[in-house]
Chains A and B, each alone.
Chain A
Amino acid sequence: MRYVVGPVADLPPGSSKVVFPEKVKSGVGVFNVNGEFYALKNTCPHMGGPLCVGKVRGTSAAEMPVDCQPEVHWVRHGEIVSCPWHHWEFDIKTGRTIFESRQKVRSYPVSIETAEEFERLKAGVETIPVSVEGATVVLDV
């Protein structure tokens, strides 16, 4: 099932939005990471928190020189979302945790449709009222 999220122009790089398609009661977070769109289920696999309203940020990575103390570097800024409940971190692009674990948040395909294609699709998709000028973000749930 396809779900129209809204105009691309409303989701600039670095922004995100939680939408609520019929099929996914807890919602789906749609993220624009440097011009690429990704979607994650708005449910943290840890305790069920509303993951996608969490802070989008980077994460830390270690460097371990042999001759002195370990160093911390801030990396992948804007590619990580942390759950507002317990701050578990997830890679927005894959839904995987940063620290090794078996837990993973469900991700969904996102596509960008031109205005014309959007008009063609319109009949068959669940929509939310938006005025569409340019390209549209569409979610497959």
Chain B
Amino acid sequence: MIIDCAVHPVLGDEEFNREIGGPWNLLKLPPLFGDRYRAPLDQLAVPAEEASSPAAVAEQLRRAGVDYAVLSPTTRGYWPNPQQATAVARAANKLFAEKWLNAPEGEGRFLGSIRIALNDVDVALREIDRWADDERFVQLVVPARALGTYGEQRFFPIWRAAVERGLAVFIHDDLGTLCEPPPSQVGFPSHFAEIHAIRPMSAIVHLTSFIVAGVFERLPDLRVVLGDVSVHAARSLAIRTDKDWQSDRLEVPWVSKDPTTYLERNVRFVTQPDDEISPHSSSAAGTIGGDNSSLVVFGSRHPYWDGVRAEDVFTTWSEKDRARCLADNALQFYPRLAARVSAEISS
């Protein structure tokens, strides 16, 4: 079985803007890949019309042998106007549900992500309620480039709602974003190649924030999927947090376990470009502090150009370890996926 946890249906500008409605669609949508750092290449691996066609994406998944795909459209990051942000998230969910989840070509493969605007927690909770009864939505998706770290208390009700509704939380770097915080602690890099290389940073900041703020301590069943950081990169940073935890804990006494314990319990990592060449990927266990084969979920990142095929991930691992990455870990981690698959097997 193959479960692809990172497929990105592109909502075409025209249809998306029509769905967003007035007066917000009087403004042009920002470009999908952002406008500050233009790539010296086409960032879509397929023609644009195929990236926004459910039939074409379904065909791609069928050819790749994918049984289930978790789809998450982008809503271009953080929108400063809260009413507009609400309209954009709702339009994305509606368009996605109608056009993609209901597409007959999906043949049951398509699973969805609920987009929420983070400007106002109450509005976000209402948007979750609007869609969460539909079991095909298996997760929330929030942008990695955020204006605050996700361990902050103001976001907590959203994570609690995710747990209550059996939804995972996917943190994804949307690239194109209206409000862009400086992408690094030293401000703005100069080139696309830099932006492309440092994408994991924001996810590492959120992960550390979740752990240290005690979100995983308070919500032991919260499931966070990180879309843009490899398990090796995250683990090396978390080990660094472990190192001085006997001393650092004084400020945050609610953290009752070593930081890496939470990483292993509450977080999974979508396969990354660095997995394909990293020496840490050659063995499933023991390279950076533990068993990585239980922490990675396969994501093709289709239709982006730096995506990966299932047969190319962790090629040196045993069949059993690869099977965990390609399907078993996702089945265990996404509560709704486990329920869906066991229901289908028994029916």
Seen from chain A, the residues whose Cβ lies within 8 Å of a Cβ on chain B are 46, 59-62, 64, 68-70, 72, 82, 86-89, 97-101
Contacts and interface: CB of A to CB of B under 8 A. Distances in A.
B250 A64 contact: no
B81 interface: no
Given A64-B214, A70-B214, A70-B218, A101 B246 contact: yes
B218 A46 contact: no
A86 B214 contact: no
Interface stretch (B20-28, B34-42, B252-260): B252-260
Interface in B237-283: 244-247, 249-254, 256-257
B153 interface: yes
A97 B244 CA distance: 13
Interface residues of B, number: 17
B245 A68 contact: no
Given A64-B218, A70-B214, A88 B247 contact: yes
A101 B247 CA distance: 12
Contacts of B245: 99
A101 B249 CA distance: 13
Contacts of B250: 59-60, 87, 89
28 contacts: A46-B246, A59-B250, A59-B253, A60-B250, A60-B253, A62-B253, A62-B254, A64-B214, A64-B217, A64-B254, A69-B153, A70-B214, A70-B218, A72-B251, A72-B252, A72-B253, A82-B247, A86-B246, A87-B246, A87-B247, A88-B247, A89-B246, A89-B247, A89-B250, A99-B246, A99-B249, A100-B256, A101-B246
A69 B247 CA distance: 22
Contacts of B214: 62, 64, 70
A68 B213 CA distance: 12
Interface string B142-180: 000000000001001000000000000000000000000
Given A60-B251, A98-B249, A101-B246, 6 more contacts: A60-B250, A64-B214, A69-B153, A70-B218, A99-B256, A100-B256
Interface of B: 153, 156, 214, 217-218, 244-247, 249-254, 256-257
A134 to B, nearest CB: 38
A88 B246 CA distance: 5
Contacts of A88: 246-247
Residue among B218, B252, B253 facing the most chain A CB atoms (10 A cut-off): B253
B254 A70 contact: yes
A88 B244 CA distance: 9
Contacts of A62: 214, 252-254
Nearest to A90: B246
A99 B251 CA distance: 12
Residue among B217, B245, B249 facing the most chain A CB atoms (10 A cut-off): B249
